[in-house]
Amino acid sequence: MKITPKKSAIALALTLAFTSAYSFANNETLVIQSSASGVLEGQTAAVSQNGELNLALLQQDGAVNLTDVEQTGVFNESYSQVDGQNNTIETDQADDWHVTSVNTVGDENNINVVQSGFYNQADLTVVGNQNNVSTEQSGEQNTATVSLGGDRNEAQSVQTGDANWTMTSIEGNNNQITSLQVGDSNESGLITSVGDGNTLYVEQTGNQNVGGVVNLRGNDNSIAVQQQGNLNAFIARPLEGNDNVVDVFQSGSANEFIAEPISGNANVVFVQQEGNANQLVAEQGISGNNLVVDVLQQGDGNLAQLGSSGDDHTLTLSQQGDNNIAALMTEGSANNLTINQSGSENFGYVETLGSENVVTIEQAGNANEVAATSDTESNQNSVQVSQQGDLNLVDLLVTGSGNELDIQQSGNGNWVASSDGAAAVTGNDGTISVNQQGNDNLVNVQQGGEGSVVTVVQNGDFNVATINQR
């Protein structure tokens, strides 16, 4: 095997010598150290090799650096280059065929690598001062890559199992990145990122989970991802801004939250998905400032979609059951949108364009549908819809401002709409209240003008009310 890490010509020459027929019987160590004349304390290198075909290459420049390598087993390779002062590099390799590459430029950095099992790889690069990196790998064919540029950063990764992968790549100061993986073929990372004071914590238990952020740009962001089960995925691509909080918990199998992008400042995003094959999609992004997003999905096969632009929105979405669909889409500022659904195969869709609108949808039962939309800028509307039962429908188009709608339906097969499709509210400061109890009741509504009032109460079955106000 030929290893070609990003090292000096001396390392390459040693590797070639190691792979020669003569070297196959022995362990190999090469230590190259230099320090400035007149220093009170120079470099310290310690190498312990027990086994066969182990290779250690240490190169230290500067002062008071310590590199300690322990190798037990067969065909382990440790490469270490240090340039600076008061750095500490510790590598412990047990069992067979591990590869560690450490490249450090700066002062007072601490790097620790522990590998056991078979063919684990750690590639660590640190440029800066007072950084701490810890990598622990137990199992087979795990890969950890760390690239830090800056000061006082901390990166910790623990991999237990097989074929896990983690990557940390960030430029900045005072960042903290933690990745804990137990299982097989999990992936986590903070990739091509720039900023200060950011925190990423990823904990994965199970197999083939994916969690991380691609291209973070900003400061003091906090991201926590916990995944239990198999084939769960969270990816934010990119995350841009400052003081954002993203907290994701997924338990089960094949749950997914993909956000492209999350951008803005002081946003709070909480997502909890429990069950199987639940999806939260934010293809248009979660964008703005001072947003609060809270999503809970429990069950199987639920689908939620979010999209926001503007500031000070609150989006709350809860689905409990199976195969429910919900979407919250908003543009403007200070809109408060909520969908709560329990049961199976319910559908809720809210889309607002404007500011200070409040829309709340509550559905309990099966195969109920609510759509509340705006196609022009509308402000300060209040829409409340509550449905209990099965196969109920509310279809609303609100294009005015200052309207209040309170619709309650209990039973099965009740509808609020119009002969043209959606029940249209096109005026301002209007009031609509509908209360239907029973089955298969219908309310047709068209409201326009200023200050119009509609009140409908229907009890029983197969009642029809038609109201047209212009």
Please report, in tens digits, the pLDDT of each residue of the chain (470 residues total). 333 454 333 443 444 444 443 344 489 999 999 887 666 678 999 999 999 999 999 999 999 999 999 999 999 999 999 999 999 999 999 999 999 999 999 999 999 999 999 999 999 999 999 999 999 999 999 999 999 999 999 999 999 999 999 999 999 999 999 999 999 999 999 998 999 999 999 999 999 999 999 999 999 999 999 999 999 999 998 899 999 999 999 999 999 999 888 999 999 999 999 999 999 999 778 999 999 999 999 999 999 999 999 999 999 999 999 999 999 999 999 999 999 999 999 999 999 999 999 999 999 999 999 999 998 999 999 999 999 999 999 999 999 899 999 999 999 999 999 888 899 998 899 899 999 999 999 999 998 888 889 999 999 999 999 998 87
- Does 172 map to a domain? yes
What's the rounded Cα separation, in Å, for the pair 136 and 115?
6
- Does 270 map to a domain? yes
- Does 427 map to a domain? yes
Strands 165-171 and 187-194: parallel
Buried b or exposed e, range 244-271, using 16+ CB within 10 angstroms? bbbbbbbbbbbbbbebbbbbbbbbbbbb
- Does 330 map to a domain? yes
- Does 116 map to a domain? yes
Overall domain count for the chain: 1
- Does 73 map to a domain? no
DSSP 345-383: S-EEEEEEEEES-EEEEEEEEES-EEEEE-SS---S-EE
The range of the structural domain enclosing residue 350 comes to 80-469
- Does 68 map to a domain? no
- Does 401 map to a domain? yes
Residue 400, Cβ density class (10 Å: 0-12 exposed, 13-18 middle, ≥19 buried): buried
